Amino acid sequence: MRHLFQHRLLAVLILFLCLFFLKPDGYAQQDTAQSMQLKEVLIQGYGENKPLVTFSTAAVQTLSTKEIKLLPTLQLSDALKYMSGVVIKDYGGIGGLKTVSVRGLGSQHTGVLYDGIPLTDCQTGQIDLGKLSLENLSSIELTVGTDEHVLMPARAHSYSNLVKLSTFHTLPLKPVQLKASFTVGSYGFYSPSVQFTNLIKSKKQTQRYLLWNVNAMFMNSEGNYPYILHYGGVNDSISHEVRQNTDITTLSAEVNALLQLRQGEQLSFKGYYYGSDRGLPNATIFYNLNARQRLTNRNGFGQMSYRKLFDSRWSYLLNAKFNYDYTHYVDPDYLNAAHLLDNTYEQYEGYISNAVTFAPLHSKEELGEATRRHDVIIGLANDLFYNQLESDNIDYKHPTRFTSLTALSARYDNRKVTINGNLLFTTVNNMAQDTAVGKTFLHLSPALSVSWRIHKYVQMRVFYKDIFRMPTFNDLYYREVGNLRLKPEKTQQWDLGFIMETPHLWGGAFHLAATMDAYYNIVRDKIVAFPTRNLFYWSMLNYGKVHIAGAELNIKTVYTFHRDCHLIVNGNCTFQHAVDRTSVDSPTYGHQIPYTPRWSGSVSATVQLHFVSVTYAVMIGGKRYALGENIPANMVAGYADQSISVQHESHIKDHTLGFKFELLNLSNQNYEIVRNYPMQGSGFRFKMYYQF
């Protein structure tokens, strides 16, 4: 307790000193940002009227580059923890697997779009958020419900929730930019990165330009952090251990190019590579702490996107992608005759998407002023993609999947009422050699959302969305587990929300925005695993039904003490009552589903001065259960993770030199998000970067 008190006292003293004793004498730029659309590239400037929330028919949360920099973050999973309704399943350490669950629907129901095109994994259906760096991202957006953009791939409508990552969100102020950074941290962590950006403008045609960049990042961490192992209850014996086999080495590289041929016509390309080699630590089970499992991953993809605005009525979008993924897992201590498990998996995906929109009332010549009051857009999109998995560790050779998605969308907006809806028709055909069973799935998924602008700064929204997720290749074909007769999981989402913003309180010095949502989700034909002969032999069945009732509150505030000092406070709170409704005879009926806390939230407070920004952040997770039965033996205790980050930038002509220092997990708690996988205790990170 004394150690905990000292850490909290230190945090309070740092904030106190920054608030009252630092005396800045200048101010380079204000905190709030104003967005405008210029040549189809969003420009982020700084002004006093930037909205803190997004008025939309869907529940949208965003984090800009500036906000991400202020928070103690390293990976995409770190940033998403500060959004409401999000539960990150973290297996500990920098190299641990990190997946996201939004509003209790599971990681397979959340899609990740990288510059408009989904990241996929047909084998497990989960995207490891830990491998996505924040260095090249300009914004992160989480959308729950139906996205208001009509010109988008049909595949974007096939997820219950969307995490959208953007690379080119701004045009650089200079034609050539170079940024290099180096980060070091606790437990052998270090990571250099470099990024080069070039803007080439046409001398003959002012609207034509080429914007491209290349970036690379290397990361290494030993991850051998200490933790306390409890041998029974709170008053039982303990031992001080060190996490083993937690090292990770990664290398990622990316090339992006955006070519604007003329105003309203763009062509973009992305090439991506990621490679990693890591150890997989065991669960902290008594007398079995040694681990020798290794996991090697290689992932590369290339994608292109073409966008054309023909006139005020017609627009067109073409996306294409090829993805390759290689995974190699070795367990030299596996309990079989060979005392070795050596599995290799290769995935291939080809993807093409066509989308077109038509605005029948969007004609200034015919409608004049009516165009400013009414807007009708109709969209049609079709996506085709082919997946194949190669492995000797599944019962059926060459499992493949061909999927066709067709989405009919429509949007009506009269600046007071917005109606957004779509119908998604899905056709999925699963095929595998050595089996006569072929499964074809047909599903029609409707979605409808309505928002009403009650006041200039108040909006009410309501939406309904029906969606389903396909069983993964592991669910269907994995040896001793797969079940070819599995049905897709079906989900239904209802939401009622309010958005409020007050940008001019106290003479414009105080800016407040809040969103409140109440939601109800139903999951049917939930895919669950049941042990059969022993813990190594499982069976996949459509058995579950889950009802999820919840509420979210997000608050963002900016208070300007004077021209040179701002206090920014962001907070969110989530309540989720996610219970099993499968069978009244089941011992888990009415119990909270595993790893879903009733209460969770986060708060960050930033003091932003001319020459330094100091942020205190705390993430809170309530108790949850590792298994379906909510009994004390299955309970995983709640936690509060507190961190402080200090950031400084010096501007000399066109050059920027900056640093960021982070104190992590101030209370030094080895709390668990996943049972028997303790998180890292207190630590630090120090980052220096130079840009010109």
Phi then psi for residue 372, to 5 deg, are -75, -15
The predicted model gives 612-628 an average pLDDT of 93
Across 263-373, where does the E strand assignment appear?
A: 265-279, 294-309, 314-331, 341-358
Residue 469's pLDDT is: 86
Confidence grade of residue 232 (pLDDT, cut at 50, 70, 90): low
Lowest-confidence segment of 91-100, 126-135, 461-470, 531-540 by average pLDDT: 531-540
CB contact at 8 A, 492 and 522: yes
Residue 538's pLDDT is: 52
CA 563 to chain centre: 34
The predicted model gives 138-157 an average pLDDT of 91
Residue 261 to residue 308: CA distance in whole angstroms: 10
Hey, what are 422's tokens?
């779509």
**Residue with the larger pLDDT of the pair 203 and 194:** 194
Strand pairing of 110-114 and 161-166? Answer: parallel
Which residue type is seen at 359? A
pLDDT at residue 39 tops 50: no
- pLDDT, one tens digit per residue, over 489-526 is 899 999 999 999 987 777 778 899 999 999 999 999 88
Give the CA distances from residue 137 to residues 64, 79, 121, 632, 670, in Å, rounded to whole numbers and listed in that order: 9, 11, 21, 42, 30
Hey, what are 551's tokens?
């509420």
**Residue with the larger pLDDT of the pair 614 and 231:** 614
Among 37, 40, 54, residue whose Cα is nearest residue 556: 54
Mean pLDDT, the chain, rounded, equals 84
pLDDT at residue 42 tops 50: no
Confidence grade of residue 25 (pLDDT, cut at 50, 70, 90): very low
Residue 616's pLDDT is: 97
| Residue 438 CB contacts under 8 Å (≥ 6 apart), including other chains | 429, 430, 431
Residue 346 to residue 325: CA distance in whole angstroms: 6
Residue 604's pLDDT is: 95
Residue 679 to residue 562: CA distance in whole angstroms: 40
Q: What percent of the chain has pLDDT over 70?
A: 85
Phi then psi for residue 427, to 5 deg, are -125, 125
The predicted model gives 574-585 an average pLDDT of 92
Give the CA distances from residue 308 to residues 356, 380, 682, in Å, rounded to whole numbers and listed in that order: 9, 15, 51
**Residue with the larger pLDDT of the pair 34 and 690:** 690
**Domain 2-438+445-691 architecture:** Beta Barrel (2.40)
Across 222-284, where does the E strand assignment appear?
A: 226-230, 238-242, 248-262, 265-279
pLDDT at residue 32 tops 90: no
**Residue with the larger pLDDT of the pair 215 and 399:** 215
Residue 405's pLDDT is: 96
Lowest-confidence segment of 68-77, 278-287, 338-347, 400-409 by average pLDDT: 278-287
Phi then psi for residue 281, to 5 deg, are -70, 150
Neighbours of 586 (CB within 10 A): 15
- pLDDT, one tens digit per residue, over 72-102 is 998 888 999 999 989 888 877 787 778 888 9
Give the CA distances from residue 404 to residues 121, 161, 351, 426, 469, in Å, rounded to whole numbers and listed in that order: 17, 20, 10, 6, 14
Residue 433's pLDDT is: 63
Q: Which residues pair with 45 in a beta bridge?
A: 34
CB contact at 8 A, 302 and 319: no
Confidence grade of residue 540 (pLDDT, cut at 50, 70, 90): low
Phi then psi for residue 474, to 5 deg, are -65, -40
pLDDT at residue 420 tops 60: yes
Lowest-confidence segment of 177-186, 230-239, 442-451, 456-465 by average pLDDT: 230-239
DSSP state of 158: G
Confidence grade of residue 65 (pLDDT, cut at 50, 70, 90): confident
Give the CA distances from residue 452 to residues 369, 455, 605, in Å, rounded to whole numbers and listed in that order: 22, 9, 32
CB contact at 8 A, 518 and 59: no
Residue 598's pLDDT is: 95
Q: Which residue has the tokens 């969305």?
A: 465
- Surface-to-core class of residue 544, CB atoms within 10 Å of its CB (0-12 exposed, 13-18 middle, 19+ buried): buried
Q: Which residue has the tokens 């914004």?
A: 139
Confidence grade of residue 296 (pLDDT, cut at 50, 70, 90): very high
Strand pairing of 110-114 and 238-242? Answer: unpaired
Among 200, 372, 167, 357, residue whose Cα is nearest residue 271: 167
Among 225, 285, 240, residue whose Cα is nearest residue 680: 225
DSSP state of 15: H
Residue 219's pLDDT is: 96
Lowest-confidence segment of 178-192, 202-216, 376-390 by average pLDDT: 202-216
Residue 287's pLDDT is: 65
- pLDDT, one tens digit per residue, over 330-384 is 988 877 777 888 889 899 999 999 999 999 875 444 333 334 445 899 999 999 9
Residue 8's pLDDT is: 40
Among 678, 679, 641, 677, residue whose Cα is nearest residue 662: 641
Confidence grade of residue 38 (pLDDT, cut at 50, 70, 90): very low
Residue 90's pLDDT is: 81
DSSP state of 1: -
pLDDT at residue 21 tops 80: no
Among 478, 482, 468, 481, residue whose Cα is nearest residue 428: 468
DSSP state of 4: H
**Residue with the larger pLDDT of the pair 254 and 15:** 254
C-alpha atoms less than 13 angstroms from C-alpha of 145 in its C-beta half-sphere = 29
